[in-house]
Amino acid sequence: VIKACLFDLDGVLVDTAKYHFIAWRELAEELGFVFTEQDNERLKGVSRAASLNILLEIGGLEFDEAEKARLAEQKNNRYVEYIAKMDSSEILPGALSFLKECREVGIKVALGSASKNAMTILNNTGLTPYFDAIIDGTHTSAAKPDPEVFLLGAQAVSVPAEHCVVFEDAEAGILAANRAGMSSVGIGSPETLAEANFVVPSLAQISVAKLQELFAAV
């Protein structure tokens, strides 16, 4: 039986993956190289500092730590400008009704996000009240695929890992769920999320009944 749903934020509940992409692409442009949507897959679910390292590797560039901190801040300042304008219209299809349904039937709801901007996004979109626990990039020390963020989420809602299901759009996030000993549902394409137990295009294909049916064995 599934007793807790742990949600990634960017690309699962809200359409912020596009803002991360745009902000990184702008930085790459300024540094003089092209950063494609395919490159961007490698950044999904990855922390800001690790994302910058991947971006610089793609561009074939090296900087010292102080300069890297400045570049990460530059990207984040731009990203923050985008998310400041967000509202509930940017909640992804099916997300709100599924969150409501979980709460109605008593399934615990937790956030497991790498982002340090998670609270701004949850507040601007009105999603904050739907969570029993919120674990984000300000609470974690190890980035996905490390399971820390989801283990902390499960602990916060007092549900053992085997009764938790993680919803993720990033490969690193699915690996984190697997390492945490949790079930997983990939949101996106089966090619990028091959390690997930199931993959659906969006949360619009998910309901509590569907979930209990998919994970009848747990």
Residues between 76 and 115 that touch ligand BG6 (CB under 6 A): 76, 113-115
Distances 53 to 46, 73, 129 between C-alpha atoms, Å? 10, 13, 35
Give the one residue of 4, 5, 6, 10 binding Mg ion; rule: CB under 5 A: 10
Segment interacting with Mg ion, rule: CB under 5 A, options 34-42, 133-141, 167-175, 196-204: 167-175
The listed partner (Mg ion, ligand BG6, none) that binds 117, CB under 5 to 8 Å by sort, is ligand BG6
Q: Which residues are catalytic?
A: 8, 10
Q: Would you give the end-to-end CA distance of the chain in angstroms?
A: 5
Other CB atoms closer than 10 Å to residue 105's CB: what's the count? 9
The listed partner (ligand BG6, Mg ion, none) that binds 172, CB under 5 to 8 Å by sort, is none
**3-class DSSP assignment, residue 91:** strand
CB-nearer residue toward ligand BG6: 137 or 181 = 137
> Which residue's structure tokens are 């993956």?
17
Q: How many CA atoms lie within 13 A of 202 on its CB side?
A: 12
DSSP structure class, residue 14: B
CB-nearer residue toward ligand BG6: 56 or 215 = 56
CB-nearer residue toward ligand BG6: 11 or 94 = 11
For residues 212 and 20, give the distance between their C-alpha atoms in angstroms, rounded to a whole number.
33
Task: Answer yes or no whether residue 18 interacts with ligand BG6 by CB under 6 A.
Answer: no
Give the one residue of 13, 39, 99, 117 binding ligand BG6; rule: CB under 6 A: 117
Preceding peptide of 145 cis, ω within 30°: yes
Site size toward ligand BG6 (CB under 6 A) is: 18
For residues 153 and 140, give the distance between their C-alpha atoms in angstroms, rounded to a whole number.
11
Task: Answer yes or no whether residue 174 interacts with ligand BG6 by CB under 6 A.
Answer: no
Are the CB atoms for 191 and 171 separated by under 8 Å? no
For residues 203 and 13, give the distance between their C-alpha atoms in angstroms, rounded to a whole number.
8
CB-nearer residue toward ligand BG6: 51 or 178 = 51
Site size toward Mg ion (CB under 5 A) is: 5
Task: Answer yes or no whether residue 47 interacts with ligand BG6 by CB under 6 A.
Answer: yes
Q: Which residues bind Mg ion (CB under 5 A)?
A: 8, 10-11, 169-170
Q: Which residues bind ligand BG6 (CB under 6 A)?
A: 9-10, 20, 43-48, 51, 76, 113-117, 137, 170
